Structure 1
Amino acid sequence: MGPGETTTRTRRRAVPWVLLGLWVAVLAVVGPFASKLADVQHDRAVDYLPASADSTQVAKIEDRLPGGESTELVLVYHRDGGLSAADRATAARQVADIAGREPLTAPPKGVPSRDGTTLMYPVASSAPGTDEKKRDAFVDDVRDVARSANGMDVEVGGPGALATDASEVYGSLGGPLLYTTVAVVAVLLILIYRSPLLWLVPLAVAGVADYLSMGVAYGLHQAFGTTISGQSSGVMTILVFGAGTDYALLLISRYREELRRVERPYDAMRQALRGCAPAVLASSGTVAAGLLCLLAADLNSSRGMGPMGTVGVLCALVAMLTLLPAVLVVLGRRVFWPLVPAFGSEPRQRRSLFAAMGSSAGRRPLTVLVGGAVLLGALAVGALNLPGSLKQEDSFVDTPDSVAAMETLARAYPGQGTQPITVMAPTDRAGAALAEIRHHRGVAGADPGRSGKGWTEISVTAKGAPQSAAETATIKSLREDLDRGETEGSYVGGPSAQQIDLQDTNARDRLVVVPIVLVSVLLILIALLRSLVAPLLLVVAVVAVWGAALGIGGLVFGPLFGFEGTDPGLGLLSFVFLVALGVDYGIFLMHRMREESLNGSEPAAAALTALRTTGGVIASAGLVLAATFAVLTNMGLVQLVELGFVIAVGVLLDTFLVRTYLVTSASVALRRKVWWPGRLAREPQPPEPPETRPAPTVAVG
């Protein structure tokens, strides 16, 4: 061995250790920022509301008023047999105690129900302002005072209590979500690798990537004001572990193959990266581009989800293409024990499930294609059974105290408003606005509240029940009436108005974002696959998967899960994730199919070979990704359960039906046309027979 070769080997041995050192340095820098992510995570209504809506303007103006945002509660006193004089005295004493402890915006007034079983006291304070911790402390303090007495039920509801209960659920997501995700991925990796050590490596690297993503997300918030909510933070963690583990599965699978052909782990890893890195880079780039399309959304929560999801995917990508290879090379072949791939050995041949599936798709491709399309279409019809828009009180899986209070109010005050509508009017027009509101046919009462910074707050009670058709009509007509004449410039907000704006804005965002996602993904696929037909096939397939997954949701959300509504953002978010992630797997399959075609395989053979060679890895990756999103179904909020369910079901449909059967059968049926108009679409010309070639010209002279 010459000195030059010795130097080269020494450098190669040093490369993994240098990478590990760089990662240690990066984590040391990122660490202080990652720990601060929870401090900038907010789940107030204004953090989810559409940027341009009336309800958002109301929330922003409230922040500027003396004391900041108002925390509105409703104390509910109830006894089935009717409240006694002693009960009413107890209620009055407790409310007075609360007023003595907390600065309230107005003296509380009790409102008895007609049947005498219930007494409600609306209570509001601006002392907590925009500080969520102070708001939660205020709500907890009120709950401590308002306890059951002498058999009387006492509950605390209202927007502030609902927000506190939601914040408690979001606050509990971090630990349980992370631990459950890690446990699920660990179990799947142990089953896939059947090794006591190997499964730990990608899992640990994914954990490092998650830590890195937290630091980067905090930096984005500080630099650009990116909205960070419990929902977006949780989804970022899911994507880091789901997508990161997928990339690890592809890399490790290729690395295992190369270790049988290449003697040294460093050289085998170089070959593995050279083989699979282009597909991984292309797929992660497509996912990131799809998620960034959410920046076009007007809804704050959706717009913030785009950068957060992109950060998760890209951090997972960087970790799996740098840190994971370094760790694997340092550990050497023994990391695969007991199934160590020896140099020069041949893998044990086993009957491949995906070879059998491919053969069935190859024999009758049109039959398989039509049958699969009919099945997906039938499942998509179930989307018509999706329950209506989700109300605030129906957004919890379990029933917290705030929801129990709202249910009691709904029974005791049927058809009557029990939740305030907030109107913000310019102070110089507040008198005209108050008169207009009080004369409005859908309004039961209105009282002026705080004033400051040129604005006056008016608390309005509607005649209709919260989030009923009657109250919705009142809010919409109030907005029309107050937006003209002497009251022009007034805004109508509050919890019910926020729900209306969420629905309207989600409908608008679907019309804007969906075409952008489709066009962006299609253009990227055209550039990657150098074809028009193959990208169209993949895009149509993932859209069909999205429709079928929503349809399955419609069949189970109400009848099986007992959900009373569907989150307005479910359609858009599930579409973006399923299209981006579904195309991700499509790239793996089509990339291998194109590679086989370039090597001279016939179209049908190329499609079946691609399925046979990538099917197992794609199936494992799909199971991991579906399982990580399924973790959301164990969380306490209906919108998270619905999102996790639809994406998990969609990924499974894409992995085991669309990718294995429909895309493969379509590729077999289309043959070379699948690569049109690229050069692979043209039939190769056979060489000209020698006897037909013209004789060479001989110069005479």
Structure 2
Amino acid sequence: MGHRVSSWIVNRYGKWGALVSLLAVLAGLAAFGPRLTDVQQNDAASFLPSGAESTQVIETASQFADPDVVPAVVLFVREGGAQPADRQRLAAVKERLASVPGVSGDVVGPIPSADREAVQLVVPVRVDTDAGFEQLPDTVQALRDTARAGAGGAKVYVAGPLALAADQAKAFSGIDGILLVAAVSVVVVMLLLTYRSPILWIIPLFCGVLSVFAAQGVVYLLARYADLTVNGQSAGILSVLVLGAGIDYALLIVARYREELRNTEDRHEAMAHALHRAAPAVLASGSTVVVGLLCLLLAQMQATAGLGPVAAAGILVALATMLVLLPALLVVCGRWVFWPFVPRFGDPQPAEGGVWGRVGRRIARRPRTVWAVTTLVLAAFTVGLVQLDADGLTDAEQFTTEQPSIVAEEKLAEYFPGGAGTPVQVVADAAGIDRVAQALQDVQGIAPDSVTKPVVLGDVGYVEGTLEAAPDSRAAFDTIDRARDAMADVPGDPLVGGTTAINHDVQDASAADTRLIIPVVLLAVLLILGVLLRSVMAPIVLLVTVVLSFGAALGISALVFRHVLGFGGTDSSFPLYAFVFLVALGIDYNIFLMTRVREESLVHGTRRGALVGLAATGGVITSAGLVLAGTFAALGSLPIVFLAELGFAVALGVLLDTLVVRSVLVTALTLDLGRWMWWPSALFRTDGGHATSTGHAVTHHVADAAHPAEPVTGHGSPEHRA
């Protein structure tokens, strides 16, 4: 941000214009935030790639069955066998179930089990997608209560796709509010510890929360008028990401402002200097995150592709808020908001005797040994990746707590084929549908005599079959593969779909997205770092350190997931989500550090600049990392395994980046490489001096890193200005 622009934002009169105008815009956008749930798409079709076979089946099968009608399986279990009066009871229950609000069409059954101890009724329920999925738990509970009222002592369970969707809807219910409260609680504690002020923390928190609501409003407008795909998962991540990243940017700006208040008597001028120095790093950091997130647009999965612009829009809102509203509020309030530790003009900079100044001097004694040992330790942790099972989660493994639909599904599998209520669907040309039905019946894994009679409408035929295995199992996925292989030899262009096929296609598409997008994100981040640092060597070094941190974080996470938390595995999209957030956010701290190191290296040389940069930024970057880690850890408050795992992995990775990679590894590498870190830029040739006509540098008389006892003073310090 140019000095003229930053001066305009925070001068004596411009600050009021910036404050009022941006507050009005953000408040206007925030008014749309509560309506975000109205445009969320949580149905299976909104997650799938448009070209997937199961997606095509959904579109074609809608001619035969309303896609908004979802089956529920009401299961009655009476150990010891049916009683004489059960037939009459079931007839009455069937009639009452048909009258439950939302039930659409005929209730199928009763269908007895082979041992006559269980009976199922298949209840078709219309889901009002315009009203959202929040009504599903009430609908399922109404089915359960109605069935129990006439069960005559038999145990009643509600299974099937509708019951699972209801439990998922309940788990995601209020996700935005729950996450925001959890994240805000973490942020409040961290800001109080960081600033040790009863007042100052309120301003960054106000800006952070306002940016969350405004971001939700922006995303609502994009979903409403630009056809952006938003679901409960991406909406929850949006809140955490915007608050965490926004507070990070605020911490950096406030820290630089506090520095300048000690160097400049007028607070307006101090903030102008602070923005001029800090804004490039904040903008570069935010741009890196935005570009990394927009790479998700390349994904086949619509849910993944939708997350990219959703989260990127949130980051842009956070940038605008923290670069304009926050500085304006701070200069309006004045120095007193820092009470009781008010920075006065002429006060010494505290970086010299700080923790990170001492850490830097210790690293400077043997930088090569430090980075070599640190690299080996991180590399050792990456071995844990062999324990990362990213082949997808079963229905039971999706939740951190026991769910009624899962219990019911397990009970249903005891008495009926595993795929009961979740059929395999096949559509084909009408002329060949009989051969398709026969081929489906011959597929290993399809229950004997379970294939329905073909139905024909116009030139399209439709047939269903029942899986022997549980619909979310690896065995069921293998059956889908065999069915598709069998259909390849049948004329009529048959397509295989259904819930199991949908989940199978999701896993395959997610794995393909991971293979494609990770290299693209790495290249994009590398180019941004190259432009920012005007170097070839530094971006490569920084990117390698972040990738190493990512591998270590995932390795440790995999071990914790399996051996501590007892999770059954991870979703197939987990590695991609974790990578994008960890690399895009992890590189932030390297940007914060290395832009300051480069600034100091222009004056003091690289080795001295590395120590000054670490001492000056260590505290604020550590605080920023703890805030971001805490906000992502708030995802663990939800009973969704994928979000809990993502929150844990990102929080751990951010802590590794903050406390180990940035502070130890990058600093040690910079000290060891020296001016080569800036190759082939002009700084490589001068390294703190002024290049002569022959290209050699005339160096300043500043202390080298090998002499750590001398004071560390920053580029903006009184000593340097003198």
What TM-score does the superposition give when structure 1 sets the normalisation length? Answer: 0.91
Separation (CA, whole Å) in 2 of partners of 1:319 and 1:223: 24
Residue number among 253, 256, 259 corresponding to 1:254 in the alignment: 256
Q: Does 1:76 align with 2:79?
A: no
Structure 2 residue matching 1:458: 3-state secondary structure = strand
Superposed counterparts of 1:52-63, under 5 Å: 52-62=51-61
Residue number in structure 1 paired with 2:402: 399
Residue number in structure 2 paired with 1:270: 272
Check 1:309–1:154 CA distance in 2 against 1; reply closer, same or farther (3 A cut).
Answer: same
Structure 2 residue matching 1:146: 3-state secondary structure = helix
What's the Cα RMSD here?
2.6
Check 1:382–1:10 CA distance in 2 against 1; reply closer, same or farther (3 A cut).
Answer: closer
Residue number in structure 2 paired with 1:532: 536
Deviation sequence 1:551-587 (CA, Å, 0-9, x none): 1121111222121221111000100111101111111
Structure 2 residue matching 1:156: 3-state secondary structure = strand
Check 1:168–1:418 CA distance in 2 against 1; reply closer, same or farther (3 A cut).
Answer: same
Q: Does 1:124 align with 2:128?
A: no
Deviation sequence 1:143-188 (CA, Å, 0-9, x none): 2312274543211111121112111222220211111111111111
Residue number in structure 1 paired with 2:98: 99
Separation (CA, whole Å) in 2 of partners of 1:248 and 1:224: 30
Worse overlay, 322-331 or 447-456 = 447-456
Residue number in structure 2 paired with 1:378: 380
Separation (CA, whole Å) in 2 of partners of 1:28 and 1:651: 31
Residue number in structure 2 paired with 1:423: 426
Structure 2 residue matching 1:322: 3-state secondary structure = helix
Residue number among 647, 666, 670 corresponding to 1:667 in the alignment: 670
Superposed counterparts of 1:208-357, under 5 Å: 208-347=210-349, 351-357=353-359
Query: Does the 8 Å contact 1:62/1:69 carry over to 2?
Result: no
Residue number in structure 2 paired with 1:698: none
Worse overlay, 461-470 or 321-330 = 461-470
Query: Does the 8 Å contact 2:81/2:116 carry over to 1?
Result: yes
Residue number among 462, 466, 489 corresponding to 2:467 in the alignment: 462
Check 1:142–1:296 CA distance in 2 against 1; reply closer, same or farther (3 A cut).
Answer: same
Query: Does the 8 Å contact 1:627/1:648 carry over to 2?
Result: yes
Separation (CA, whole Å) in 2 of partners of 1:395 and 1:233: 18
Worse overlay, 477-486 or 269-278 = 477-486
Residue number in structure 1 paired with 2:689: none
Check 1:620–1:45 CA distance in 2 against 1; reply closer, same or farther (3 A cut).
Answer: same
Residue number in structure 2 paired with 1:646: 649
Separation (CA, whole Å) in 2 of partners of 1:649 and 1:593: 25
Superposed counterparts of 1:539-688, under 5 Å: 539-601=543-605, 603-682=606-685, 684=697
Structure 1 residue 107 displacement after superposition: 4.7
Worse overlay, 282-291 or 407-416 = 407-416
Structure 1 residue 646 displacement after superposition: 0.6
Check 1:616–1:283 CA distance in 2 against 1; reply closer, same or farther (3 A cut).
Answer: same
Residue number in structure 1 paired with 2:706: none
Worse overlay, 626-635 or 121-130 = 121-130
Check 1:681–1:80 CA distance in 2 against 1; reply closer, same or farther (3 A cut).
Answer: farther
Structure 1 residue 452 displacement after superposition: 5.9
Deviation sequence 1:185-227 (CA, Å, 0-9, x none): 1111111111111101000011111121112112221333111
Separation (CA, whole Å) in 1 of partners of 2:432 and 2:106: 21
Query: Does the 8 Å contact 2:36/2:220 carry over to 1?
Result: yes
Separation (CA, whole Å) in 1 of partners of 2:453 and 2:314: 46
Q: Which AA in structure 2 matches 1:139?
A: V
Residue number among 201, 204, 207 corresponding to 2:203 in the alignment: 201
Separation (CA, whole Å) in 2 of partners of 1:314 and 1:187: 25
Separation (CA, whole Å) in 1 of partners of 2:9 and 2:530: 43
Check 1:485–1:152 CA distance in 2 against 1; reply closer, same or farther (3 A cut).
Answer: closer
Separation (CA, whole Å) in 1 of partners of 2:289 and 2:551: 19
Structure 2 residue matching 1:656: 3-state secondary structure = helix
Deviation sequence 1:604-661 (CA, Å, 0-9, x none): 2221221111111110000000000000011111111011111001000111111111
Check 1:677–1:12 CA distance in 2 against 1; reply closer, same or farther (3 A cut).
Answer: closer
Separation (CA, whole Å) in 2 of partners of 1:117 and 1:209: 57
Q: Which AA in structure 2 matches 1:649?
A: L
Separation (CA, whole Å) in 1 of partners of 2:440 and 2:155: 34
Query: Does the 8 Å contact 1:389/1:565 carry over to 2?
Result: yes
Worse overlay, 300-309 or 73-82 = 73-82
Residue number in structure 2 paired with 1:48: 47
Percent identity among equivalent residues? 41
Separation (CA, whole Å) in 1 of partners of 2:427 and 2:380: 48
What TM-score does the superposition give when structure 2 sets the normalisation length? Answer: 0.88
Check 1:142–1:294 CA distance in 2 against 1; reply closer, same or farther (3 A cut).
Answer: same
Structure 2 residue matching 1:425: 3-state secondary structure = strand
Structure 2 residue matching 1:512: 3-state secondary structure = helix
Check 1:416–1:510 CA distance in 2 against 1; reply closer, same or farther (3 A cut).
Answer: closer
Separation (CA, whole Å) in 1 of partners of 2:453 and 2:33: 44
Separation (CA, whole Å) in 2 of partners of 1:463 and 1:294: 37
Query: Does the 8 Å contact 1:139/1:164 carry over to 2?
Result: yes
Residue number in structure 2 paired with 1:163: 165
Separation (CA, whole Å) in 2 of partners of 1:340 and 1:312: 33
Separation (CA, whole Å) in 2 of partners of 1:168 and 1:237: 19
Structure 1 residue 662 displacement after superposition: 0.9
Separation (CA, whole Å) in 2 of partners of 1:180 and 1:219: 26
Query: Does the 8 Å contact 2:412/2:418 carry over to 1?
Result: no
Q: Which AA in structure 1 matches 2:410?
A: E
Alignment gaps of 5+ in structure 2: 1-6, 687-696, 701-722
Q: Does 1:141 align with 2:145?
A: no
Query: Does the 8 Å contact 1:432/1:487 carry over to 2?
Result: no
Structure 1 residue matching 2:408: 3-state secondary structure = helix
Residue number in structure 1 paired with 2:360: 358
Separation (CA, whole Å) in 2 of partners of 1:53 and 1:628: 35
Query: Does the 8 Å contact 2:434/2:454 carry over to 1?
Result: no
Q: Does 1:20 align with 2:25?
A: no
Query: Does the 8 Å contact 1:16/1:330 carry over to 2?
Result: yes
Deviation sequence 1:472-511 (CA, Å, 0-9, x none): 22211222333454230x3322222122112111111111
Structure 1 residue 588 displacement after superposition: 0.9
Worse overlay, 37-46 or 127-136 = 127-136
Separation (CA, whole Å) in 2 of partners of 1:633 and 1:369: 33
Separation (CA, whole Å) in 2 of partners of 1:662 and 1:55: 47
Query: Does the 8 Å contact 1:63/1:130 carry over to 2?
Result: no
Q: Which AA in structure 1 matches 2:554?
A: L
Separation (CA, whole Å) in 2 of partners of 1:452 and 1:210: 49
Q: Which AA in structure 2 matches 1:39?
A: D
Q: Does 1:482 align with 2:487?
A: yes
Query: Does the 8 Å contact 1:532/1:675 carry over to 2?
Result: yes
Structure 1 residue 36 displacement after superposition: 2.1
Query: Does the 8 Å contact 2:70/2:124 carry over to 1?
Result: yes
Alignment gaps of 5+ in structure 1: 1-7, 688-701
Separation (CA, whole Å) in 2 of partners of 1:14 and 1:85: 87
Residue number among 522, 535, 542 corresponding to 2:526 in the alignment: 522
Check 1:378–1:153 CA distance in 2 against 1; reply closer, same or farther (3 A cut).
Answer: farther
Q: Which AA in structure 2 matches 1:473?
A: D
Worse overlay, 616-625 or 407-416 = 407-416
Deviation sequence 1:127-156 (CA, Å, 0-9, x none): 757764465554343223122745432111
Query: Does the 8 Å contact 2:76/2:156 carry over to 1?
Result: yes
Structure 1 residue 94 displacement after superposition: 2.1
Structure 1 residue 685 displacement after superposition: 5.1
Residue number among 168, 191, 194 corresponding to 1:192 in the alignment: 194
Check 1:457–1:197 CA distance in 2 against 1; reply closer, same or farther (3 A cut).
Answer: farther
Separation (CA, whole Å) in 2 of partners of 1:230 and 1:452: 36
